[in-house]
Chain A
Amino acid sequence: MLSYTLKRLLMAIPTLLIVITISFFLMRVAPGGPFDGERQLPPEIEANLKAAYHLDEPLPMQYLRYMGNLLEGDFGPSFKYKDFSVTELIMQGFPVSLEIGGLAILLALLVGLPLGIAAAIRRNSTVDYLVMGTALTGIAVPNFVIAPIFALVFGVLLAWLPAGGWNGGAWPNLVLPVVALSIQQIAYIARMMRASMIETLGSHFIRTARAKGLSETEVIWRHAIRPAMLPVVSYLGPAIAGIITGSVVIEQIFGIPGIGRYFVQGALNRDYTLVMGTVVFYGVLIVLMNLIVDLLYSALDPQIRYDD
């Protein structure tokens, strides 16, 4: 398993290189630059700005410079957040995104899995329709609708919780963003778990288990749940990477200092280094998460083994 892990990590290097290279040139091909704004700058000043960020060099040269710095772990200075390096921005924002995202995933699993299982066991019952109907609504209503409603209802009108702000991560400030962020995930996980549970319950080994005279509870808990989790686990890899790198909507509406906003703001501001930094970071995270998921697979399903 160790050699498998090492092999996967080595294989990730060319993947990341390709991602970085494509992103670098795509970003530069996009029309409009970091200094195109409402106030059009005189040529002398624009030249100074370009020189300050080496944007006056030929593109291949800039690419080599960027890759060279990257090897030393230097993501470069942010164009917009001039007092910070991209590394600093990511390192300050990531723990926050990790906390919010981690809690949201945890909540999604704690709520989504039991709901999915319950719906599968009582298939076509009121419970099933209720759970699946709610889940469908959860998937259909996007974050940018749920979050402002939460802030308005629980923050302003009822005044139970803060309408926004981070406040050093105090729990009252965590509740609304975590719940808002988890709703869609709960819905996805519940639906996925239900479908996979139904499929598992119809398979031969479950029939055998029942034939052995095991009670329904034992059948479900000892035999069905583990294999039924597989699709959920493979979904979780990219979902966790996505959710802990932040959600721009949740962060903006609740004023959470995470890194999600950098993806969108960086791209809109043509903050080249910031976009590249977040892309690399996200890429590494995806690779790691997928690896962890594959390793988990072998733990859940004895048919999958990574010894070579």
Chain B
Amino acid sequence: MLSRQLIAALGGLALGALASSAQAFSVNIANGAEPGTLDPQKTSGNWETRITRALFEGLVTYTADGSLVPGLAERWEISADGKTYTFHLRDAEWSDGEPITAEDAAFALRRVLEPAIANHNANLYYPIVGARAINAGEAAAESLGVETPDAHTLKIHLTQPTAWFLQALAMTEAAPLPEHAIDTAGEHWVEPGKTVSSGAFTLSEWQPQARIVVEKNPHFHAAQDVALDRATFYPIDDAGSALNRFRTGEMDIAYSSVPSSRFAWAQQHLSDALQVGPLTAEYFYMFNLREGQPLADRRVREALNLAVRREVITGQILGQGQPPSTWYVPHGTANAPSGQMAFADMPMEARLKRAQKLMQQAGYGPDHPLRLTLNYNTLEDHKKIAVAVAAMWKPLGVEVALVNSEAAVHYATIRQGKFEVARYGMVATINDPFDFLGAYAKDGSASRASGYHDADYDALVARSTRELDPQTRQRTLTQAQQRLLDDYALLPLYDYVSVHLVSPRLGGWESNPMDVHPLRYLEERD
């Protein structure tokens, strides 16, 4: 009798457990590195923003395909002169039930510019009146050009029209923040139990170096459209381990888990899970253009560009479908300019002939070879590419010394301009050509590193930012890029692609150039 009751009770328990596990929709994600922080304004990489984006909703936000849609703002107006943005916030709540107000949005913008926060991308908000001075510690945060006429309205004043400003606002850095929660919890306010979120998920567990769990936020403004109940992020920095754990079925999504050496294998065995798509990121060789450097001579730069067979690199070394590029701004970028280097359609033989002639004109030949150093940071693929490029330059009489260093040393060398040719990977923070072209304009990072200065180019880039008509802007961007390409200021090699594994049981996950994959759109396929 007793045992029968027990069996019935146990059976009930088991059924209950089955029922709840059938209802709960959860995913495990191999997320790369361990996040250093989940404060959305202190993050420095996508292994962090993939989580902060689930927790914090921007005024504008991304869809599954990476395009911009209203987030906490249900609509906005941009003044005719392009200098005032008025956002109308929807009725929404923080996960603790407090209303999300325009003041929270203004607070976040002031905070991201505070020198003590030391945000890496603060310069994206410099178009706001007073922003640069605040970030440089010369003015108080209160002087920022933002107003909140009422609890649902936020006005942002810019110093000049800025075509890509909405893209900057879509970054999690600019998402409204819960001032009340930060005041109470202090510096480490993003911890389970302390943090208050506005996104589709809340933070429920963080075991450092082991796992981070987010759970559906019932207060989220579109909670009824969110199918996913729980996501667990695992820090797995070894790509091979991530691949293994995806194969055992433990992981449902594995980011950057297929090294190029395993790609062909994955194509064969995991074809229904392999997700490959273009990225807004460019792999190129930076030239040191300073006077006295061998590459200050435009003829040499053109010759080096002519001799590189990019399709050999993308096809035989990488083989993941990277588009070989004779342009600078990756084609996956929104509003990407058209145009390419002048030789792009020339047959290889003619290219080599011209390259040899140019080298002769520049004074190099068999008796007087051009000796170049080529720097790259430690990675097998970088090494293979450098060896291949050096071999392609050999017929021009170029003798290359390869210099390999770890990333910190490599980038310090570039920053200090102590190189001749250096491997560089430019990854966009916002989905706009400005991120690439701006780097070579006055005060841009690539301009400072390479010594590239061209007043006309700077003027074109500046104009492209102020230009609000999309077609006119596109033309200006194309002109700007063409100037850089005609000058052979760099040697583009290919546009990056993203390579991820996503379980075929998941829907609502799309490859996109910004590589953003909001969890709120995930669904379970039958």
Contact = CB atoms under 8 A, between A and B. Distances in A.
A45 B126 CA distance: 11
Contacts of A112: none
A32 interface: yes
B412 A152 contact: no
Nearest to B122: A45
Q: What's the dominant secondary structure at chain A's contact region?
A: loop
Interface stretch (A47-55, A59-67, A206-214): A47-55
Contacts of B415: 36, 40
A39 B135 contact: no
A252 B409 contact: no
Contact of B443 (A42, A80, A93, A253): A42
Interface in A5-36: 30-34, 36
Contact of B118 (A52, A253, A254): A52
Interface stretch (B33-41, B63-71, B388-396, B502-510): B33-41
A81 B37 contact: yes
A33 B210 CA distance: 28
Contacts of B449: 40
A155 B244 CA distance: 8
Contacts of B240: 148, 151, 253
B116 A156 contact: no
Interface stretch (A163-171, A196-204, A289-297): A163-171
A268 B210 contact: no
A84 B136 CA distance: 26
A164 B136 contact: no
Contact of A165 (B37, B250, B426, B446): B250
Contacts of A165: 210, 234, 245, 250
A156 B248 contact: yes
A222 B188 CA distance: 59
Interface residues of B, number: 59
Contacts of A51: 115, 118
B364 to A, nearest CB: 31
Nearest to B378: A268
Contacts of A34: 408
Contacts of B207: 257
Interface size class of A (residues with CB under 8 A): 35 or more
Contacts of A41: 120, 445
Nearest to A257: B209
Contacts of B448: 40
Contacts of A254: 241
B244 A164 contact: yes
Given A38-B427, A164-B241, A92 B209 contact: yes
B39 A82 contact: yes
Contacts of A152: 244
Interface in B134-180: 135-137
Contact of A52 (B38, B116, B210, B414): B116
Q: Which of A148, A164, A268 has the most CB of B within 10 A?
A: A164
Given A39-B120, A48-B117, A156-B244, 19 more contacts: A31-B412, A36-B408, A44-B132, A45-B118, A49-B118, A51-B115, A82-B39, A83-B37, A89-B208, A93-B208, A155-B245, A162-B250, A163-B250, A166-B209, A253-B238, A255-B210, A255-B235, A268-B408, A269-B408
Interface of B: 34-39, 42, 44, 115-120, 122-123, 132, 135-137, 188, 190-191, 207-210, 234-238, 240-241, 244-245, 247-248, 250, 406-415, 424-427, 429, 443, 445-446, 448-449
24 contacts: A31-B408, A32-B406, A32-B412, A36-B409, A38-B407, A38-B427, A40-B411, A44-B136, A45-B119, A48-B117, A48-B122, A52-B116, A82-B39, A82-B42, A83-B42, A83-B190, A155-B244, A163-B244, A164-B245, A165-B210, A254-B241, A255-B210, A257-B209, A268-B406
